[in-house]
């Protein structure tokens, strides 16, 4: 695709701008900012990745993955501002998920330990883990706030913090995992996933594209479960003080 052809795709940006203006949605500025940022960020990342792939140095791969984790942590921790030490908890969760998934992929020789595989797959894993962290924290903080009286009642009757917060915690974990599970139920019927579609457009064999897509789907299923459960069990103890009293939000 040439830059001229790419410029023609701005038609797909012009349409929502016109609609926003026509129906007075007030989204014109946000749409323009999002478009400009996506162009700059993706082109910059493209040139950086070209340099990293050409250098074949694992140091640059490590730096790229670290940058992803830092950016994802910064974005996700905003939703859990009321939870003590949430930044560290999110960072530990993201790092653990990344090490776990890459350890399995490379350890079992499913994918080679090269930048071409590590960086794109890490981007999908960390990005998905970030979204799941946001979904979990958003739901968990809401659950805790809306059921604070119930939690205090269980504590007053001699229940432990884990018992008092159990229902809210499980509901939040399930709520954050459901989108990933539901999307896999209809994959291939309702939609063709992005990675698979990209490979097919690039000329790859459809069966090979399906195999890689299945790898990513199974990978994201592990990401969903580990992220939600780990972040949940790291977060709930800090909602209580040493006297096993829930901290007021």
What is the C-alpha to C-alpha distance for residues 22 and 24, in angstroms, rounded to an integer? 6
Tens-place pLDDT, residues 103-112 = 999 999 999 9
Give the percent of the chain with pLDDT over 90: 57
Q: What is residue 146's predicted lDDT score, i.e. its pLDDT?
A: 87
What is the C-alpha to C-alpha distance for residues 199 and 209, in angstroms, rounded to an integer? 6
7: pLDDT strictly greater than 80: yes
DSSP 3-state assignment of 125?
helix
Q: Tokens standing for 107?
A: 């350890």
What is the C-alpha to C-alpha distance for residues 103 and 57, in angstroms, rounded to an integer? 18
Q: What is the three-state SS of 186-213? A: CECCCECCHHHHHHHHCCCCHHHHHHHH
**159, 199, 211 from 206: Cα distances, Å:** 55, 8, 9
What is the C-alpha to C-alpha distance for residues 237 and 249, in angstroms, rounded to an integer? 14
189: pLDDT strictly greater than 70: no
What is the C-alpha to C-alpha distance for residues 46 and 64, in angstroms, rounded to an integer? 12
| pTM for the full predicted model | 0.83
Cβ neighbour number for residue 12 with a 10 Å cutoff: 9
249: pLDDT strictly greater than 60: no
Most confident of the following: 46-50, 199-203, 222-226 = 222-226
Q: What is residue 248's predicted lDDT score, i.e. its pLDDT?
A: 63
129: pLDDT strictly greater than 80: yes
DSSP 3-state assignment of 159?
coil
Give the percent of the chain with pLDDT over 70: 97
Q: What is residue 95's predicted lDDT score, i.e. its pLDDT?
A: 97
- 4 — pLDDT class (breaks 50, 70, 90): confident
Longest Cα separation, the chain: 70
What is the C-alpha to C-alpha distance for residues 222 and 204, in angstroms, rounded to an integer? 26
- 145 — pLDDT class (breaks 50, 70, 90): confident
Q: What is residue 44's predicted lDDT score, i.e. its pLDDT?
A: 92
Please provide the distance, in angstroms rounded to a whole number, between the alpha carbons at the two ends of the chain: 52
Average pLDDT, rounded, for the chain: 89
**Residue 193 CA from chain centroid, whole number:** 16
């Amino acid at each position: 695709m040439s830059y001229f052809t790419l410029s023609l795709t701005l038609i797909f940006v012009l349409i929502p701008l016109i609609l926003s203006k026509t129906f007075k949605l007030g989204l014109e500025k946000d749409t323009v900012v999002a478009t400009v940022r996506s162009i700059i960020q993706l082109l910059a990342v493209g040139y950086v990745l070209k340099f990293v792939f050409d250098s074949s140095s694992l140091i640059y791969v490590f730096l790229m993955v670290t940058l992803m984790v830092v950016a994802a942590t910064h974005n996700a921790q905003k939703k859990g501002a009321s939870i003590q030490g949430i930044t560290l908890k999110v960072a530990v969760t993201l790092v653990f998920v990344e090490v776990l998934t890459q350890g399995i992929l490379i350890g079992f020789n499913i994918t080679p330990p090269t930048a071409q595989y590590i960086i794109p797959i890490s981007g999908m894993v960390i990005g998905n883990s970030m979204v799941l962290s946001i979904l979990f924290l958003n739901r968990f903080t809401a659950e805790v706030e809306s059921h604070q009286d119930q939690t205090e009642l269980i504590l007053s009757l001699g229940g432990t913090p884990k018992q008092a917060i159990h229902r809210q915690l499980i509901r939040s974990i399930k709520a954050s995992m459901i989108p990933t599970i539901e999307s896999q139920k209809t994959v291939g019927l309702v939609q063709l996933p992005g990675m698979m579609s990209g490979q097919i457009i690039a000329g790859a064999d459809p069966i090979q594209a399906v195999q890689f897509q299945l790898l990513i789907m199974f990978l994201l299923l592990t990401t969903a479960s580990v992220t939600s459960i780990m972040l949940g069990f790291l977060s709930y103890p800090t909602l209580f003080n040493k006297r096993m009293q829930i901290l007021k939000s």
